[in-house]
Amino acid sequence: MEGTDRTTLLLNLYRTMLRIRLVEERFVEPILSGEVKCPVHLYTGQEAVAAGVCAALEDGDYVFGSHRSHGHYLAKGGDLAKMVAEIYCKATGCARGRGGSMHVIAPSAGMMGAAPIVAGTISLAVGAAYAASVRGDGRVSVSFFGDGATGEGVLYESLNLAAVLKLPAIFVCENNLYSTHLPILECRPSEEVYKIAEPFGIAARRVDGNDALAVYEAASSAVSRCRAGQGPVFLEALTYRWRGHVGPDDNIQGAHTDIRSPEEIERWRKRDPIGRLRALLLRDGAAGEAELASLDERIAAEVEAAASAARAADFPATKELADHVFSRP
């Protein structure tokens, strides 16, 4: 990729990642103060995965998420203000205050939903790929899940199903090396997750999940394979969450349940996916300091406006408690 295309792509990736980062970090204070009450699994540190994968998708493609899906929602084009309002559990949220942080959804943007049952949406993503194959409409379906989800049997059933049916499904495992309080090697015999797909004949590889461009390139080729009818792809994105499993810091909020060493966290902070892309943009001459600074400011203002609007919005009315169970009451 050359010239303006590359510049546009890099700037897009940068914008997407920064929007995710600033939204996530904007939640820290209201979580600690108790204003935001629902469980929030911050995506800080992993932005390159959502941004890189979703940049390779079209609007009509599908994405399914997990408990940690703010980034997937934003990268797929979900409305930022509606997501922030949802995390405040307000009536103006993308799930009208019914779902909170763990159920961000924007079907019109292809963000088909998220759910905190570990591995719970993997088979759903396979089902959306099946729908695409039935219709022959060329869409692809992406399942985002964590390394912890490799413990659940449904992942393997889903891999098999997708492989047998040659579905346009992309399995994206965000390997951040921990499943809540357990390091990956206490959960599985190997750190290399992508190899689980090989016995199913699924094209599989590991990418640097803190390198947005590398993720984008891997996702693009996966999408091409899927659209060409060559069957599913498995991508393992090696990355790291900077903050607590839930909330900003498990050791402040919980009972010292973050077992990761400060040195390890610091090492990964140095591999900041946003800082890396910023450096690349500047090095390439794709953007100047001033341009990036003004972009930063615009995004910060957008996030601030969303937070203010969310705070000012109403909670859902009690009389609407029974709405949305069925299409008709």
Ligand X SMILES: Cc1ncc(C[n+]2csc(CCOP(=O)(O)OP(=O)(O)O)c2C)c(N)n1
User: Residue 258 interacts with Mg ion (CB under 5 A)?
Assistant: no
Of 235, 277, 7, which is closest to residue 140 (Cα–Cα)? 235
Question: Is there binding between residue 325 and other proteins (CB under 8 A)?
Answer: yes
Quick one: 127 or 148, whose CB is closer to ligand X? Answer: 148
Round to whole Å and give the CA distance between 261 and 259: 6
Residues 203-222 as x/- pattern, contact with other proteins by CB under 8 A: --------------------
Smallest separation, CB 259 to Mg ion (Å) = 13
Cβ-based neighbour number of residue 326 at 10 Å: 7
302's tokens: 């957008």
Give me the count of residues in the chain. 329
What is the spatial distance between Cα 228 and Cα 128, in angstroms, rounded to a whole number? Answer: 17
* E strands in 8-85: 62-65
Q: Shortest gap between Cβ of 154 and other proteins (angstroms)?
A: 8
Q: For residue 233, what are the CA distances in angstroms to 37, 198, 206?
A: 37, 10, 11
The answer to whether residues 216 and 223 touch, using CB atoms and an 8 Å cutoff, is no
How big is the site for other proteins, counted in residues (CB under 8 A)? 45
| Residue 65 binding partner per list Mg ion, ligand X, other proteins, none, with a CB distance cut-off of 5 to 8 Å that depends on partner kind | none
Give Cα separations from 195 to 82, 185, 212 (angstroms): 38, 15, 22
**Contact window for other proteins (CB under 8 A) among 8-16, 132-140, 186-194, 270-278:** 186-194
Identified binder of other proteins from the candidate list 120, 166, 205, 311, rule CB under 8 A: 120
Site track for other proteins across 253-292, x = CB under 8 A: -xx-x-----------------------------------
Binding at 115: pick from other proteins, Mg ion, ligand X, none (beta carbon under 5-8 Å per type): other proteins
Within residues 133-152, the interface with Mg ion by CB under 5 A covers 146-148
